[in-house]
Structures are given as C-alpha cells and as structure tokens.
Amino acid sequence: MAGRLEGKVAVITGAASGIGRGTVDLFVKEGARVIAADIQDDKGAHIEEDHKGNARYVRCDVSLESDIEAAVAAATQHFGKLDFLFNNAGTGGARDAADAVTAEGFDAVMHLHVRAALFGIKYAAPAMRANGGGSILSTASVAGLQAGYGPILYSIAKAAIVHMTKVTAPHLAADNIRVNCICPGLIATNIFAQGMGIPSQIGETRLDAIADAAKNSQPIRRGGRPRDIAEAALYFASDGSDWVTGQALAVDGGITLGPNDMAQMTVFAPIVQALGVDEETLAQIIAGRV
C-alpha cells in the first residue's frame, strides 16, 4: 500500500534532531522526499546516509532570511516542487524574568521562532501556489496557549506563532495553501538540557529518563516522544487535512486540561481543613475514597 505522503515533497527545519528528525524519518517512510534543514552538519550527513535519495540535507540557520529562502528553493531544485513546509527549528532561549529581559535576548528568541516562521511562509507560498497548493505547519507550544509551561520570551514567541497561523491562513486559503500549527506538550528532546545550559550531547543520552520523569505530568500517563508530534505533522502534510486551516492543535497528553480531579483536590486542601475536616478524612478525599 502506498504511503500517506507518496509523491509529496517537504521542507523541515530543525530536522537533524528531536521532533525534526522524528518527522523526517516518518515522512520518508510514508513516501515523501524531504529537504532536511538544520545547522548540525554531522547529523545532517547521517540523515542523507539513512535515507539515500529521499532526503537531502541543507545547512540552514533560520535566523537568516537568506538561508530560509535557500532551503525552500532547494525543494524545487532537487525534487521539482514543494508540497509541505514544517517551520520547526527552535530552542528554549533566554530564561530571564520579566524585569530582566534584554533587547538581545528578545531579538534572538523572536528571530529564531517568529520571524523564521513568517519568512518560511513568505518563501513557501509562491512555490506552493505554482504547484496548485500545499500545507504550512509551524511548531508552537502549549507555552503559547497558557502560562506556566516555558520561559517568558519563549512563551511570547510561541503565542505569536499561534496568532500568526490564524492571521495568515485566510490570506493563503484562496490559493489552496493551508496554514496550521502544533502545540507540543512535554516532549522528550534535548530542548530541556539546552534550556539549562547542559550540552545537547549529554541531553540526548537522557531522553528516556526525561520521558519517564514526565509520565505523571499529564492525564495520559506516559512521556511525550518526537514521534507523537511527527504523527500530527503527518496529518497536516497529508491530503486528509485538506479542509483544515488556521488551527493550533495541542498534542500534549492532556496537560493543558489541568490536573485530574484528585490532584486538584490538593490545591483546595487548606480550604477543606479550614472547614473543620480532619486530616484523615482529607487524605481519603484526596485519594478518592470519600
């Protein structure tokens, strides 16, 4: 049976590791040819080795407009067209408090996430229009939907991507170009290590530990993996989503739903105690036995 992306051509930024690499692997398996754009040349070479003829690595620093333009152009140059763009590159960025942000930190985070995604749309749209349409997807985050899931500047940038998705989608819909974004929850990638100043090489050796540590952080009791996001990206790249645009899809194990009922009871414990409920009964309430 033909793959779900048979005959399609995709550009994926941040393709050499984490969500990007997981998406490259799945897309090639499903029949796509992929331009894997990143700045990690050694890992890019591995992508080409692993997917001979179906994936080509292009060095791309998404903070540079010219690199984005070149990566998008590479799809047409090497594979004849462009069907799908995944604006995925990014890191956690500066962790400064609101009263400690710097212009340099702000510019770096916004350029890496917001400007890069917008320029991706800018250069992908003409190529897709010439091909009769296409699909553009950007990586946002649950941090862009609610407070408390990421550093301030990162969260602002991801919220901007969510809104960018909504305001650009109507402009391109008449050309049969869809624009959507994914909001990942806690996904086991080295972004956590990078955010804490730990070398990515070390972080990549601890991905199983990260996933295991995150398994109780959301209603679905397992840690998120890059494959979870890749599967969602596959939907947006496929013809199955050809009537979906302007959407922000949370792929988060339910973390944005908040704690389950019993966990939430611990928040109200002081109030319940103030009502005169003894500690033993309170413990039974929290455990769901009362």
DSSP assignment of the chain equals ---TTTT-EEEEESTTSHHHHHHHHHHHHTT-EEEEEES-HHHHHHHHHHTTTTEEEEE--TTSHHHHHHHHHHHHHHHS---EEEE----------TTT--HHHHHHHHIIIIIHHHHHHHHHHHHHHHTT-EEEEEE--GGGTSTTSS-HHHHHHHHHHHHHHHHHHHHHHTTTEEEEEEEE-SB-STHHHHHTT--HHHHHTTHHHHHHHTTTSSSS-S-B-HHHHHHHHHHHHSGGGTT--S-EEEESTTGGG-S-HHHHHTTTHHHHHHTT--HHHHHHHHTT--
Active site residues: 154
